[in-house]
């Protein structure tokens, strides 16, 4: 016998970009949304449970398209030498922390020894409670390239192809490919290309053959262009975008996941907080260009999905909503930032049939807020209640 729950009285932001519904009604049947509209237009069955949310705001759970769930957001995450079991314990804790922060779905962008896949499966089976996870397995990187500490080092088309197939065999939901250097790996430059276009394309082909997507860590212009021409589905970071690259992204429907949080929190905390000097120096060097590239992409109409690079220094699960603050400061409207964190993010992940917006027929993942985030985007940093699969999560 189905169970009906009716939430009434809240402002409702659907995530579609459409107008807010005042004094809304949200009717759930089991774990799915049955109907949405004005509260006074519903005719309810006698056994319907009614929850009054007058004065609150409802919106879809946020989707964070770039996290590292196995890492701890300390000054130097790579300096920690831990067993796989300890890493898994931290990952399980982070999965719960993301959920508490109102993040009901994440895209994990790389972990050692397929631990992110194990945590995904533990959540899906109900063994642990946490946010929904899509996992990449190990990131594909050239020998000594960015993220080699947790990555699958591979060189040349044949070796990259085999590495891609290894991740897919292990159960990866998508592939993560390192196209450039980065801030957090010593001895590499953020702007320098790493895996070549033909190497990236080999991995993209393997993923697309089995209906899975690809994402690239790409900061410098040459590496970003290589990845876009290779058919990548999303560019993560995109620090040095050019007009040519933006045009290519528009032509090919490539998404941008900006991760503005990552350099912000490194610069904000600095070496005094235990962040290595090379990370701080590189972050200071790229942070202004990062914002300018984001603004250029937005102005041109590139599809933007929210991601934080979660677990870079002092950028933990609870900081997810600060990414929306930074996006709004950089020129998005609050509604655009919310859509980037819900509808567009779900489209990038390929889960928009069931998630990302509050619409009839979709899974009931949503959050409750004390204030309207369209008037105060920072209220998203203080989520009141989280519902996943139609059930209120008790923390």
DSSP codes joined into one string, 231-249: T-SEEEE-TT--HHHHHHH
Is the domain of 127 the same as that of 209?
Answer: yes
Is the domain of 304 the same as that of 373?
Answer: no
List, run by run, the mean pLDDT of 10-residue segments along the chain (395 residues).
92 97 97 96 92 98 98 88 93 98 98 97 98 98 92 98 98 98 80 94 98 97 97 97 98 98 97 95 95 98 98 97 98 98 98 98 98 98 97 94
Is the domain of 68 the same as that of 96?
Answer: yes
DSSP state of 196: -
Is the domain of 80 the same as that of 178?
Answer: yes
Q: Cα–chain-centroid distance for residue 279?
A: 22
The structure's pTM equals 0.97
Is the domain of 173 the same as that of 308?
Answer: yes
Say if CB 241 and CB 258 are below 8 A apart.
no
- Looking up residue 40, the CATH number of its domain turns out to be 2.30.40.10
Is the domain of 298 the same as that of 254?
Answer: yes
Tokens 């950028």 locate to 315
Is the domain of 84 the same as that of 22?
Answer: no
Is the domain of 308 the same as that of 328?
Answer: yes
User: What pLDDT is recorded for position 1?
Assistant: 66
- CA 184, CA 276: separation in Å to the nearest integer? 9
How many structural domains are present in the chain? 2
DSSP string, 64-104: EEEE-TTS--SS-GGG----HHHHHHHHHHHHHHHHHTTEE
User: What pLDDT is recorded for position 78?
Assistant: 78
User: What pLDDT is recorded for position 190?
Assistant: 77
Is the domain of 343 the same as that of 214?
Answer: yes
Range(s) of the domain holding residue 214:
62-349
User: What pLDDT is recorded for position 255?
Assistant: 98
User: What pLDDT is recorded for position 395?
Assistant: 87
Say if CB 365 and CB 393 are below 8 A apart.
no
Is the domain of 50 the same as that of 98?
Answer: no
Is the domain of 233 the same as that of 200?
Answer: yes
Tell me the CA distances in angstroms from 298 to 262, 291, 331, one per residue in order: 19, 11, 8
DSSP state of 321: T
- Looking up residue 270, the CATH number of its domain turns out to be 3.20.20.140
Over the chain, what is the mean pLDDT?
96
Is the domain of 90 the same as that of 233?
Answer: yes
């Amino acid at each position: 016998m189905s169970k009906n729950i009716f939430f009434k009285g809240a402002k409702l932001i659907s995530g579609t970009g459409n107008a807010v519904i005042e004094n809304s009604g949200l009717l759930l049947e089991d774990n799915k949304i049955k109907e949405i509209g004005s509260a006074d237009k519903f005719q309810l069955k006698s056994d319907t449970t009614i929850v009054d949310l007058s004065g609150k705001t409802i919106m879809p759970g946020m989707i964070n398209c770039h996290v590292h769930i196995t890492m701890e957001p300390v000054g130097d995450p790579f300096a920690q030498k831990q067993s796989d079991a300890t890493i898994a314990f931290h990952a399980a804790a982070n999965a719960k922390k993301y959920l508490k922060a109102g993040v009901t779905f994440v895209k994990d962008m790389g972990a050692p020894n397929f631990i992110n896949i194990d945590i995904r499966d533990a959540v899906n089976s109900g063994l642990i409670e946490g946010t929904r996870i899509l996992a990449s397995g190990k990131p594909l990187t050239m020998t000594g390239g960015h993220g080699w500490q947790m990555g699958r080092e591979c060189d040349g088309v044949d070796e990259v192809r085999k590495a891609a197939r290894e991740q897919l065999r292990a159960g990866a939901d998508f592939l993560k490919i390192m196209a450039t250097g980065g801030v957090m790996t010593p001895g590499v430059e953020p702007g320098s290309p790493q895996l070549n276009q033909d190497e990236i394309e080999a991995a993209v082909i393997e993923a697309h053959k089995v209906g899975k997507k690809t994402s690239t860590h790409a900061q410098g212009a040459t590496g970003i262009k290589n990845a876009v021409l290779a058919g990548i589905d999303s560019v993560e970071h995109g620090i040095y975008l050019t007009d040519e690259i933006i045009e290519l992204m528009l032509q090919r429907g490539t998404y941008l996941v900006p991760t503005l949080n990552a350099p912000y929190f490194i610069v904000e905390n600095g070496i005094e907080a235990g962040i290595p000097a090379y990370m701080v120096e590189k972050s200071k060097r790229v942070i202004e260009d990062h914002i300018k590239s984001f603004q250029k992409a937005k102005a041109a109409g590139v599809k933007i999905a929210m991601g934080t690079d979660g677990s870079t220094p002092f950028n933990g699960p609870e900081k997810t909503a600060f990414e929306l603050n930074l996006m709004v400061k950089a020129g998005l409207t609050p509604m655009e930032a919310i859509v980037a964190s819900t509808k567009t993010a779900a489209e990038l992940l390929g889960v928009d049939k069931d998630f990302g917006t509050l619409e009839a027929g979709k899974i009931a993942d949503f959050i409750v807020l004390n204030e309207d985030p369209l008037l105060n985007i920072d209220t998203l940093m203080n989520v009141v209640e989280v519902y996943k699969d139609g059930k209120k999560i008790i923390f």
